[in-house]
Amino acid sequence: MIYYSKIGGLVVYFTKKVFIKISSIIFLLWFLIFPSEFVFAATSNQVTWQFSSADGFNISDSAKVFFDNNSTKLIPDDFISGGYQIWHDSHTGGVGDSEGWDIIVSDDRNYIYFCGSTDNGAGGNGQGFIVKVDQNLNEIWYQTYVEGTTSTDGMQAIQFDSKGNLITVGEYVSTVDGNAYFKIMKINANNGDVIWQDTQARGNTWVSLWDD
């Protein structure tokens, strides 16, 4: 295919390769002359999901996940590989923090699972949480699992086992002895119930386990 550009009374023709290269150069020059940040703005193409007032999570929290994929329906592949994830939170009732640290999508592409840390809007100790939503971001269930002494305690990674259950790893600093621990848990993906869990101590050494 041949592309052309009309410059005054002159018509200039390009091949696709040259056209793309010239377009890229023009874009780069524009960005250098007029620098700006690439920001996902809240638009009608985004979907907002908000925590419910489930037990252990204050209703004052409004931790939100934004999806921007030119559709009001989540496309999981685009969401994960395309970099469309923005985790954002705000609190109407004082200080607080909620963070999403990992996300997986079921093989049938019907459900999405988030894990992370929340201090329930209280600005205090962190709790690990997992939440399951459908493709329309309707909440199926929400559970908290570990609580420690720091604001960053939480579930850091989540994955499926061969039977479709969830395997998650969390870290926390004990409220009893002040030592760092990590916990491996097997979770029923249908309802969030714990099937089994194993806790390992790491003394006073901080534990950081991120994915995989």
Tell me the pLDDT tens digit for each residue of 156-189. 788 898 899 999 888 877 777 777 777 888 999 9
Cβ(189)–Cβ(160) below 8 Å: yes
Is there a single domain that holds both residue 13 and residue 90? no
Is there a single domain that holds both residue 29 and residue 62? no
Question: What whole-number distance in Å separates Cα of residue 67 and Cα of residue 108?
Answer: 19
Is there a single domain that holds both residue 99 and residue 178? yes
- Determine the pLDDT at residue 121: 52
Is there a single domain that holds both residue 92 and residue 175? yes
Return the structure tokens found at 87: 């985790």
Tell me the pLDDT tens digit for each residue of 85-110. 333 333 233 345 566 677 787 877 77
Separation in Å, CA 101 to CA 22, 29, 34, 87, 191: 39, 36, 33, 9, 21
Angle subtended at Cα 87 by Cα 66 and Cα 165, rounded to the nearest 5 degrees: 95
- Whether 93 is covered by a domain: the verdict is yes
Is there a single domain that holds both residue 59 and residue 11? no
- Whether 41 is covered by a domain: the verdict is no
Please tell me which residue, 62 or 173, carries the higher pLDDT value.
173
Q: Which strand (E) or helix (H) includes residue 86?
A: strand 86-88
Is there a single domain that holds both residue 148 and residue 92? yes
- Whether 208 is covered by a domain: the verdict is no
Tokens 């916990």 appear where? 183
- Whether 206 is covered by a domain: the verdict is no
Is there a single domain that holds both residue 101 and residue 10? no
Among 69, 65, 71, residue whose Cα is nearest residue 79: 69
Is there a single domain that holds both residue 91 and residue 138? yes
pLDDT above 50: residue 47: no
Show the domain range for 121. Answer: 46-201
Is there a single domain that holds both residue 73 and residue 174? yes
Q: What is the pTM of this model?
A: 0.56
Number of domains in the chain: 2
Is there a single domain that holds both residue 11 and residue 99? no
- Whether 155 is covered by a domain: the verdict is yes
Return the structure tokens found at 203: 């003394």
- Determine the pLDDT at residue 209: 44
- Whether 139 is covered by a domain: the verdict is yes
